[in-house]
Amino acid sequence: MSHFSNIKTQIRNLTSLKAALDDMGIDWKEGPHTVRGYKGQTRTAEIVVEQNNNYDIGFSWNGSEYELIADLQYWQQPLSVDGFLKKVTQGYALHTILDESSKQGFQVAQQQKNEDGSIRLVVQRWSA
Per-residue model confidence as pLDDT tens digits over 71-127: 999 999 999 999 999 999 999 999 999 999 999 999 989 999 999 888 999 999 887
In which band, very low, low, confident or very high, does the pLDDT at 1 lie, cut at 50, 70 and 90? low
Closest CA to 70 of 82, 56, 60: 56
Residue 18 has pLDDT above 70, yes or no: yes
Closest CA to 28 of 47, 13, 51: 47
The CB-side HSE value for 58 (13 A sphere, CA atoms) comes to: 26
